[in-house]
């Protein structure tokens, strides 16, 4: 296996309740490779197993068959080595901790000293433009702010890979577009590889260097579409190239759904 | 700053409402008493007071002012006043209750943490935890006291009867803590658990950083119940164990002399109520201290 791939998946299969009457094959024959510094969006019909794929990559559940390696090691090893940071649709902040202490949580679990982790957490809050809100509790922050804290938390220990499961799904359109711009800024500044689950086509096109389209269940990667936009600024959403890419992804998705 | 002054104002208002409530209660009591007296004074059989409403003569319902005056009376000339006796008894009982409460909280939490580890343990053990509360306290108390007197010689310290009373209070306390504690420990969302898993957190780290803090809002209502239960347990325990010095013994004594001085029993009852309120108040203060800054201000 090539050492320079962040993620390499071949012939992946996941069956829930195998061998029983209620067995469900969520993923079958799935192949995907991700190189360092890529931003790959995974898009597909709802319920097709996008989140399952992300949990497999994160080693939160184990595959039934196939090969999956993260930074050249198994998903479990990668999880124990803290190779990736994870962001869910719900920010999942601990409501008894201030913003800065939420960002500190993974560092605390890793045994960092109080001084070091506080300094790093402050740095991370600066990165997501929340330096003024370090001592606020989650209940005092808006949904978008909470999600930015959650991103800062995922990046606090500088993982090489960021796994995001519909992170902006619960946000309103305006906040969503703002968060997308912020995320691109963070991606550029931190040199992280991102795997991003979404069901919004414009979101996938705007953010990604590559869009992977998943088929309905049992899911596989049915098509991969490289996205080549001249610059990733908010205005790009109004350009001819953007529309062309969006329409290409949409047509691919439709053809996959009706296979 | 404004936050603090509004909470202070809210607290003042609560105290005021409570005081007004007490006065209204005293007035209702006195009013009913006057009504019953008036009915009695007609010397006719009205069948109201005495048949389906309680009688209101001074034996059954001593006047409020007499009850208040009783606090300052001494049973023996120049001896300790009833108020002082009640205060001493309340402090004695409160100590037993506090020890029982602390032990019950620790045991209850330990049971919750053990049951958290597996569904099978939960299903197997929880019915016994619930069944333990159906055993009448009066039946357990003498057993505990006899054990304490005869069976605990291996302990490095001398076992006193009041410790048996604390143990009885523990028996009532651990139950709500175990049941609500378990619910609280199970309260974090699946995402929160997955997040901890993604950080490769160990079981103990998950317990300490996620499950225990998440359980606090569930735990405190249980602790309030446990606080009153520990006082009740201590009083009942004192009575059935025959331990002197606490409210239980005082209530027993005053009940025996009810015919000659009903006011005293009322004083002891008021003392028991205040003791329970103090216990709950301490828990509520701890709750405010620990939970106030989560954005959810405890009431």
pLDDT bucket at B1, cuts 50 / 70 / 90: very low
What does DSSP say about strands A7-16 and A84-87: parallel, antiparallel, or unpaired? unpaired
Query: What is the per-residue pLDDT for B298?
Result: 37
pLDDT bucket at B118, cuts 50 / 70 / 90: confident
CB-based contact, B195 to chain A, within 8 Å:
yes
Greater confidence, B76 or B165? B165
What phi-psi label fits residue B106: left (phi over 0), alpha (psi between -120 and 50 degrees) or beta?
alpha
pTM for the model: 0.81
For residue A89, the chain B residue with the least C-alpha distance is B191
Per residue in B54-109, pLDDT (tens digit) is 778 888 888 888 899 888 888 877 788 889 999 999 999 999 999 999 999 999 99
- Please say if the pLDDT value at position A104 is more than 90: yes
Number of residues written out for chain A: 259
Which residues does chain B have within 8 Å of residue A86's beta carbon, measured at their own beta carbons?
194-195, 198
Element holding A31 (H helix, E strand): strand A24-34
Per residue in A128-143, pLDDT (tens digit) is 889 899 999 998 999 8
Query: How many angstroms separate the CA of residue B295 from the nearest CA in chain A?
Result: 6
Per residue in A77-99, pLDDT (tens digit) is 999 998 999 998 888 899 899 99
For residue B200, the chain A residue with the least C-alpha distance is A80
pLDDT bucket at B297, cuts 50 / 70 / 90: very low
Q: Is A94 within 8 Å of B192 when comparing Cβ atoms? A: yes
Interface with chain A: mutation pick from B199, B204, B207, highest number of A CBs within 10 Å: B199
Query: How many angstroms separate the CA of residue A175 from the nearest CA in chain B?
Result: 23
Q: What whole-number distance in Å separates Cα of residue A209 and Cα of residue B97?
A: 66
Query: How many angstroms separate the CA of residue A219 from the nearest CA in chain B?
Result: 23
What residues form DSSP beta bridges with A212? A42, A224
Contact A219, A51 (CB under 8 A): no
Contact A54, A161 (CB under 8 A): no
Handedness of CA A27, A33, A37, A40 (dihedral sign): negative
Greater confidence, A21 or B299? A21
Q: What whole-number distance in Å separates Cα of residue A62 and Cα of residue A237?
A: 38
- CATH-assigned architecture of domain B82-294: Orthogonal Bundle (1.10)
Query: How many angstroms separate the CA of residue A250 from the nearest CA in chain B?
Result: 30
What phi-psi label fits residue B246: left (phi over 0), alpha (psi between -120 and 50 degrees) or beta?
beta
Query: What is the per-residue pLDDT for A251?
Result: 92
Per residue in A201-215, pLDDT (tens digit) is 999 999 999 999 998
Order of all β-strands in the sheet with A84-87: A84-87, A161-165, A193-198, A39-43, A210-214, A221-226
Q: Highest mean pLDDT range out of A143-147, B134-138, B157-161? A: A143-147
Segments in B42-160 forming alpha helices (H) = 64-70, 82-116, 119-132, 137-150
Interface with chain A: mutation pick from B3, B184, B198, B295, highest number of A CBs within 10 Å: B198
Query: How many angstroms separate the CA of residue B101 from the nearest CA in chain A?
Result: 26
Instruction: Match 């409570």 to its residue by tokens.
Output: B18
Query: What is the per-residue pLDDT for A127?
Result: 86
Q: Is B198 within 8 Å of A58 when comparing Cβ atoms? A: yes
Greater confidence, B121 or B109? B109
Domains and CATH numbers, chain A: 7-83+159-257 (3.40.50.300), 93-158 (no CATH)
Query: What is the per-residue pLDDT for B293?
Result: 63
Nearest to B201 among A81, A92, A109 (CB): A109
Query: Over pLDDT 70: what percentage of chain B?
Result: 96
Q: Which of residues 203-222 of B touch A (CB under 8 A)?
A: 205, 209-210, 213-214, 216
pLDDT bucket at B211, cuts 50 / 70 / 90: very high
Which residues does chain B have within 8 Å of residue A55's beta carbon, measured at their own beta carbons?
194
Phi, psi of B30 (to 5 degrees): -65, -40
What does DSSP say about strands A84-87 and A73-74: parallel, antiparallel, or unpaired? unpaired
What phi-psi label fits residue B266: left (phi over 0), alpha (psi between -120 and 50 degrees) or beta?
alpha
Query: What is the per-residue pLDDT for A198?
Result: 92
Q: What whole-number distance in Å separates Cα of residue B140 and Cα of residue B128?
A: 16
Closest CA to A193 of A96, A113, A85: A85
Reported ipTM: the value is: 0.85
Which residues does chain A have within 8 Å of residue B210's beta carbon, measured at their own beta carbons?
94
For residue B209, the chain A residue with the least C-alpha distance is A105
Angle between helix axes B119-132 and B82-116 (nearest 10 degrees) is 160
Greater confidence, A193 or B289? A193
- Please say if the pLDDT value at position A107 is more than 80: yes
| Mean pLDDT estimate for chain A | 89
């Amino acid at each position: 296996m090539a050492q320079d791939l962040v993620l390499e998946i071949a012939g992946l299969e996941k069956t829930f309740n195998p061998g029983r009457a209620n067995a469900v094959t969520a993923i079958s024959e799935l192949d995907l490779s991700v190189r360092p510094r890529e931003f790959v969006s995974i898009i597909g019909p709802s319920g097709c197993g996008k989140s399952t794929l992300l949990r497999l990559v994160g080693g939160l559940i184990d595959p039934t068959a196939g090969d999956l390696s993260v930074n050249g090691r198994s998903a479990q090893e990668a999880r124990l080595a803290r190779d990736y940071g994870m962001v869910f649709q719900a920010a999942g902040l601990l409501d008894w901790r201030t913003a800065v202490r939420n960002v500190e949580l993974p560092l605390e679990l890793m045994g960092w000293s109080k001084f070091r982790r506080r300094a790093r957490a402050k740095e991370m809050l600066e990165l997501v433009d929340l330096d003024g809100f370090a001592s606020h509790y989650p209940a005092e922050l808006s949904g978008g702010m909470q999600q930015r804290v959650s991103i800062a938390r995922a990046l606090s220990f500088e993982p090489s890979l960021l796994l995001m499961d519909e992170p902006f799904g619960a946000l309103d359109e305006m906040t969503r577009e703002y968060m997308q711009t912020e995320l691109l800024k963070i991606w550029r500044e931190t040199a992280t590889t991102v795997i991003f689950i979404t069901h919004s086509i414009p979101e996938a096109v705007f953010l990604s260097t590559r869009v992977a389209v998943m088929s309905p269940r049992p899911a596989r990667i049915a098509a991969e579409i490289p996205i080549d936009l001249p610059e990733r600024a908010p205005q790009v959403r109004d350009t001819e190239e953007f529309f062309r890419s969006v329409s290409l992804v949409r047509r691919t998705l439709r053809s996959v759904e009706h296979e | 700053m404004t936050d603090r002054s509004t909470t202070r104002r809210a607290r003042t208002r609560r105290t005021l409402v409570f005081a007004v409530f007490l006065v209204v209660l005293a007035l209702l009591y006195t009013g009913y008493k006057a009504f019953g007296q008036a009915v009695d004074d007609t010397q006719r059989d009205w069948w109201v007071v005495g048949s389906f409403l309680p009688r209101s003569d001074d034996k059954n319902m001593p006047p409020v002012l007499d009850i208040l005056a009783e606090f300052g009376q001494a049973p023996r000339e120049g001896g300790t006043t009833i108020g002082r006796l009640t205060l001493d008894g309340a402090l004695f009982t409160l100590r037993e209750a506090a020890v029982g409460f602390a032990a019950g909280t620790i045991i209850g939490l330990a049971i919750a943490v053990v049951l958290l580890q597996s569904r099978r343990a939960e299903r197997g053990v929880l019915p016994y935890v619930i069944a333990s509360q159906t055993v009448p306290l009066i039946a357990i108390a003498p057993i505990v006291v006899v054990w304490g007197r005869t069976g605990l010689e291996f302990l490095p310290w001398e076992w006193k009867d009041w410790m048996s009373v604390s143990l009885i209070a523990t028996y009532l306390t651990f139950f709500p803590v175990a049941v609500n504690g378990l619910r609280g420990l199970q309260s974090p969302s699946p995402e929160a658990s997955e997040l901890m898993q993604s950080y490769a957190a160990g079981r103990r780290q998950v317990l300490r950083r996620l499950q225990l803090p998440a359980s606090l809002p569930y735990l405190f209502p249980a602790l309030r119940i446990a606080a009153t239960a520990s006082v009740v347990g201590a009083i009942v325990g004192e009575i059935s164990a025959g331990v002197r010095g606490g409210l239980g013994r005082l209530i027993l004594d005053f009940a025996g002399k009810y015919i000659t001085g009903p006011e005293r029993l009322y004083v002891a009852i008021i003392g028991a109520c205040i003791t329970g309120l103090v216990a709950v108040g301490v828990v509520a203060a701890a709750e405010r201290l620990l939970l106030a800054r989560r954005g959810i201000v405890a009431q």
